[in-house]
Amino acid sequence: MGMIKEFKEFAMKGNLVDMAVAFVMGAAFGKVTSAFIDGMVMPLIGQLTGGVDFNNKKFVLTKATAESTDAAGNVVPAVAEVAVKWGSFVTVAIEFLVIAFVMFMVIKAINRMKKAEPPPAPAGPSNEEKLLMEIRDALKK
């Protein structure tokens, strides 16, 4: 029973819950960013570059071959294409830059808000200090 209570206290600590919320929000933000990049940014870049679709760009190292039969009648198995898919890398790199820029702007705004908070007003004198001031003033008379 004590272990369950300890786990509950651990799971409900503020930092752990905040981190879980941040993780879920980050995953959702990643999906939104992917949709933005794939649906809006890359088509615009493709239009500017003459209709190039970067997701399909690749450098083929070995072309694919279909299954065939050689002169001796042996079956030659099919070979899959081997390619460096640099276009998808470009798309993901642009997505990363957008996410990094947005996170930079969010952190910059948070830091600005932290600096803008006025310092707390100094606390008034305590009861003891008030009493000592009254005694001091009475002795001056």
The b/e string for 38-51 (b: 16+ C-beta within 10 A; e otherwise) is eeeebeebeeeeee
Q: What is the pLDDT of residues 98-126, one digit of tens each?
A: 888 988 998 898 888 887 777 777 888 88
pTM: 0.56
At residue 122, the pLDDT reads: 81
**Average confidence score pLDDT of the chain:** 85
Fold annotation for 2-68+75-118: 1.10.1200
* C-alpha of 25 from chain center: 9
Task: Label residue 97 left, alpha or beta by phi (over 0 means left) and psi (-120 to 50 means alpha).
Answer: alpha
Q: What is the pLDDT of residues 46-56, one digit of tens each?
A: 888 888 888 88
> What confidence tier does 1 reach under pLDDT thresholds 50, 70, 90?
low
- The answer, yes or no, to whether residue 14 has pLDDT greater than 70, is no
Q: What is the pLDDT of residues 76-102, one digit of tens each?
A: 888 889 999 998 898 889 888 988 898
More confident of the two residues 13 and 52: 52
Question: Which residues is 65 bridged to in the sheet?
Answer: 79
Contact 95, 34 (CB under 8 A): yes
Instruction: State the Cα–Cα distance between residues 141 and 137, nearest whole angstrom.
Output: 7
